[in-house]
Structure 1
Amino acid sequence: MCYLCFAGTCLAQPVSKGTVYGTKPTPTQVIEASKLEAFMGNKVRITTDIKGKVLKVTKQKGGWFDIDAGNGKTITAHFSKYDITIPSELKGHYIIAEGIAQKQFIADDGQHMAGDTPVGKKQHTVNADPKRSITFEVNGLVVE
Structure 2
Amino acid sequence: MRILKGIIILWMSLFIFAGFAQTPPPLPHGTVFGIKPNDIGPIAAEQLEPSMAKKTRVTTAIRGKIIRVTKSKGGWFEIDGGKGKVIAAHFKNYNISLPKALRGRVVIIEGVAQKQFIADDMQHFAGDTVVGKKQHMVNANPKQRLAFEVRGLMVDK
* Deviation beyond 3 Å, 4+ runs, structure 1: 119-123
RMSD in angstroms over aligned alpha carbons?
A: 2.7
Unmatched segments (≥5 aa) in structure 1: none
Q: 2 CA distance for matches of 1:26 and 1:62?
A: 21
* Structure 2 SS opposite 1:69: strand
- Structure 2 residue 91 is the aligned partner of structure 1 residue 72: no
Unmatched segments (≥5 aa) in structure 2: 1-12
Alpha-carbon displacement from aligned partner over 1:113-143 (angstroms, at most 9, x marks no partner): x8x9xx8564522231100010110000100
- Structure 2 residue 117 is the aligned partner of structure 1 residue 94: no
- Structure having the larger proportion of residues in helix: 2
* Displacement after TM superposition at 1:108 (Å): 2.3
Identity of aligned residues (%): 56
In structure 1, the residue matched to 2:31 is 19
Q: 1 CA distance for matches of 2:41 and 2:62?
A: 8
Matched residue type, 2:100: S
Q: How many residues align?
A: 137
In structure 1, the residue matched to 2:123 is 111
Q: TM-score, normalised by structure 1?
A: 0.82
* Displacement after TM superposition at 1:14 (Å): 2.9
Distance 1:106 1:123, change over 3 A: closer
Q: TM-score, normalised by structure 2?
A: 0.76
| Structure with larger Rg | 2
